[in-house]
Amino acid sequence: MQRERRFSMATLRELRLPRPEREAARAERRAEEAIRRERDNPESAEQRAAAIAAEARRHGNHYGQSQ
């Protein structure tokens, strides 16, 4: 319930803003969410490289190495 109340208060505060500022705030939230989705994506290149390195360590550094 506390979370719902905070959400409502934030919504009310936002409604006090002029329309262009409300739209800018929504756009900023969408951009932040896109950044979070990209950063936390388990299929990102960094995550795949870390998984391959972990497998290499697990299998005695014989897996995933190019010679």
pLDDT in tens, 8-55: 787 788 888 899 999 998 999 999 999 988 887 777 788 788 888 888
Q: CA nearest 53: which of 40, 67, 64, 39?
A: 64
Tokens describing residue 32: 């932040």
The pLDDT assigned to 45 comes to 80
Spell out the residues 6+ positions from residue 15 whose beta carbon is closer than 8 angstroms to its own.
Answer: 22
The pLDDT assigned to 31 comes to 95
Return d(Cα 27, Cα 20) in angstroms, integer: 10
